[in-house]
Structures are given as C-alpha cells and as structure tokens.
Amino acid sequence: MADLIVGIQWGDEGKGKIVDVLAKDYDYIVRYQGGHNAGHTIVVGDKKYALHLIPSGILTSHCINIIGNGVVIEPSALIEEMRQFGGEQALLGRLFISDRAHIILPFHQELDSSLERAANAIGTTKKGIGPCYTDKIARIGLRACDVRNFPAQRESIIARLQERVRTLKESNILDSSLEELVQASISSLESAHTILSPFITDTTSLLWEAQAQGKRILLEGAQGSMLDIDHGTYPFVTSSTTIAAGSCAGSGLAPRDIASVLGIMKAYCTRVGHGPFPTEDGKEFGALLCEKGAEFGTTTGRKRRCGGFDALAARYACRLNGCDKIALMKLDVLDGLEEIAVCVAYQYQGRKITYVPSDLENATPIYEILPGWAGESSKGVKSYDALPTNAKAYIARLEELVGVKIAMISTGAERSEIIYRYDCAI
C-alpha cells in the first residue's frame, strides 16, 4: 500500500519537512506532479537543502526516490539539483525517472515568460511548466523516453521540434529565432541523454513490483490543493492536479492502493503569485508573518503573501483529498501575538456563507478572534502538554473548524522540532 502527503493550502505548507521526517518508515518516495516551479526546503543541522524535482526522501539513505510520470522535467534544473547530492554516480540506484514524464525545453520557458508579460498574467515562475503541460495535453510533447532514445530518433525529434517552434513563431509570441530555439532544445536533449539516461525507466512497473514485495511507498505532491487545475482558484492555479486524485494518474498506482492521506497546513496562510487570497494581510500582521516565517519562495526567492488561517479553504481541501490526519506547520511563528484572527465564514453576494465559491475573489473573510500566547513560546517544544495553554486551544479550535485531527505539530525548522500526537503512522 501507499500513503500520501498533500498540501491543503496554496502551497509552501512544509511538505518537504514532513516527508523528510517520515521517510525513515518508507522504502520508496514518489513525486507525482508539478515541475521545478515547486520547492521544498529541508533543514538538517546547520545545512539547508533546496529540492525542486528530487523527492524529499533523498536525504534518507535507504529510500528509493522516484520522479513520476505526472512530473514535467527541465533537464538542466534536475542535473544541477543532483549535484548537491554528489551527482549522477552517487544517485544511481536511488533515483529513478519515469520514461513517461514530459520534458521542458527552452522554448517552453521563453513562451512562459512572454505570456507573463501580458496584462492578464497569472504570476507564474516562468519556468515553462504551463506550456509543457499544454504540449502534453495537445499530444505534441517530448517525454523522458525520447531523451533516452534521442540518438536513434534524432532526425524525427528535430523535425517535431522545428514544427512546434515554427508554429509558435508564426504567432509572434517568441523573441528568439527558430534556429536558436531549436538548437537550444537539441543541446538540452543531448545533455539530458548523456547524464539522465541511466535513471530513466518504467517507474510504474517499478512501483507495482515494490508493492508485490510488500514495500512501503510514500507519495509526495507539490504545490497545494488551492492551486489545483480543477478545484483551485482558477485561472490563478498551476497546470497539474495537485490534490490526492492526481497521485494515481501521476504515479501509475490505483486508487485502491492509497491507504492514508496526511494533509499539510500552516498555522496561518501564504500564497505566491497572483489570484484571490481572502485572508491576505498587507499590513503589520502580514509583514510579521513574512519576517518570522521566512516566507520567501524556495524556487524563486519571491516574497510570499501572508495572512490569517482560512478554515473554510482548509476544510474544503481536506474533503477534496480525503485527509485522515493533518500536520500543522510553523506554529511557533504565531508566538508573541496577543490575539489571532481565523477566517470562519465569508461574506459573499450579500450573505454569509461557509463554503468555498468558484469565484473566491468575490468573498470577504469573516473572522473569529482567538487569544494568542504572548509571553510564552512554542518554539522547539516537543511535547503537546508543554505547549502554552492558548496554543493548545488554538490547535483544538482548528481541528473543530477543519474537521480533521491534527496529528503532528511543527514548532521549528529542524527535523527534531516536531510534536507527535495520536497515531502518527499514516
């Protein structure tokens, strides 16, 4: 069976730390969607690791790490990321790439940048993620199997590249010449073939075999549920299925293979990029969260928008994902506050609602004010009983509002700064 970890806000919830903490109990860690526009920061002692494509289990020596077919891969980004773990020789046998994963090429990135200059920009990372997924859905993309077979299929692949880039050039979208973009794409594929080919395989069969052997599998998502292409704040979303349902399509496992779902959420909310964010606070509270929570993107360094906890969005996401339990992150960021506002309803079209509408931009938050624990600290606390009384009351209220038990509580960036409640085996 496989367990699943999923973000239930707008991403950046702290999934990487939880996967890192739990990885010791698993044999396989699988990343199943997204691209290098997502990032996990993991702190081990005095060292920070920034992960974008490689699963978080890479820091656990016995874990086999899989980049699934639902991921889109920019070869140079992956190769660079591999170097912080000793490069390809050190990772052989520990990292595998699905031969069905799609490949981001230079023209995807240039197209993404061009689209972001438009007046109705989404606020993407300009990494080429959306254009690559567009080609995937249009059935004209290149996959990792094409990388592996590049020398044998060189002429046909180049012809496909030329046709795709020519179509884009005729739309006056790209600045670089056809020759430049095609040559850059060929260079990317050649480099990827040389370095990545030993890692490319049928990872779906690999996972099926692991299941047959009774191995434990942990599925790791990127971004958050509120950025899901179907159920998020469209069109200000990512281009993949970020909720639990995407884990099957992006890995090759069946729904019946999923045993348990652990949702990850911060004790407050953040968002990167454009789009509705009802609890955003552009004043003192938001600035405090940003500073204390070090709310800057792992991938881009962009400052995150910050605000209070949105219980409606969290409850909505928990239902979408079928969360069994929750890990609550960054509780310590709220230390020192006299009171904390939590969104418990929206004002929408002249009435009070307690659900997430499809046009969330037209919803105004209605808050419940909870007492903080100023003068006390949760930082580094490792026992639930040792938390400040009002911190425990805050946690209990979030459980009531969201409808799911909080099984883990992070009280700092370190691996060890975590509280375990109930049965934390997911």
DSSP 145-202: HHHHTTTTTHHHHHHHHHHHHHHHHHTT---S-HHHHHHHHHHHHHHHHHHHGGGEE-
> Residue 93 region, left (φ>0) first, then alpha (ψ -120 to 50), else beta?
left
Pairing outcome for strands 406-410 and 418-420: antiparallel
Instruction: Pull the structure tokens for residue 182.
Output: 């095609």
User: Which residues does 335 contact at the CB level (< 8 Å), separation at least 6?
Assistant: 373, 376, 377, 378, 379
Neighbours of 91 (CB within 10 A): 18
Instruction: Pull the structure tokens for residue 389.
Output: 């009384």
Active site (annotated) includes residue 231? no
410 annotated to a ligand binding site: yes
390 annotated to a ligand binding site: no
CA distance 15 to 120: 30
359 annotated to a ligand binding site: no
Tell me which of 126, 136, 231, 266 is the catalytic residue.
136
| Composition of the chain by helix, strand, coil, percent to 5 | 35, 25, 40
Q: CA–CA distance from 263 to each of 5, 43, 192, 215, 243 (Å)?
A: 6, 20, 34, 22, 10
The torsion angles phi and psi of 139, rounded to 5 degrees, stand at 65, 35
CA distance 328 to 267: 6
CA distance 426 to 244: 14
Confidence band for 40, pLDDT divided at 50, 70 and 90: low
**pLDDT at residue number 114:** 84
Active site (annotated) includes residue 379? no
Closest CA to 227 of 44, 1, 9: 9
Fold: same for 2-72+205-420 and 102-198: no
Closest CA to 334 of 373, 387, 307: 373
- At 126-144, the pLDDT tens digits run 899 999 999 999 999 999 9
Average predicted confidence (pLDDT) for the chain:
93
Q: What residue type is 343 in one-letter code?
A: C
**pLDDT at residue number 49:** 78
379 annotated to a ligand binding site: no
211 annotated to a ligand binding site: no
Query: The whole model's pTM is what?
Result: 0.92
The torsion angles phi and psi of 284, rounded to 5 degrees, stand at -65, -45
User: Which residues does 414 contact at the CB level (< 8 Å), separation at least 6?
Assistant: 43, 45, 380
**pLDDT at residue number 87:** 82
Confidence band for 325, pLDDT divided at 50, 70 and 90: very high
Active site (annotated) includes residue 274? no
280 annotated to a ligand binding site: no
Looking at residues 59-72, what average pLDDT do you find? 95
Tell me which of 36, 40, 108, 127 is the catalytic residue.
40
2-72+205-420 CATH pick, 3.40.630.10, 3.40.50.150, 3.40.50.1100, 3.90.170.10: 3.90.170.10
Topology (CATH level 3) of domain 102-198 = Adenylosuccinate Synthetase, subunit A; domain 2 (1.10.300)
**pLDDT at residue number 299:** 61
The torsion angles phi and psi of 201, rounded to 5 degrees, stand at -155, 180
Which of 46-60, 96-110, 305-319 bottoms out in mean pLDDT, i.e. has the lowest? 46-60
45 annotated to a ligand binding site: no
Domain boundaries, the chain: 2-72+205-420, 102-198
**pLDDT at residue number 298:** 64
- At 294-311, the pLDDT tens digits run 998 766 677 999 999 999
Q: Is the pLDDT of residue 249 over 90?
A: yes
CA distance 32 to 247: 6
Tell me which of 3, 12, 146, 257 is the catalytic residue.
12
16 annotated to a ligand binding site: yes
294 annotated to a ligand binding site: no
Question: How far does Cα 17 stand from its chain's mean position?
Answer: 12
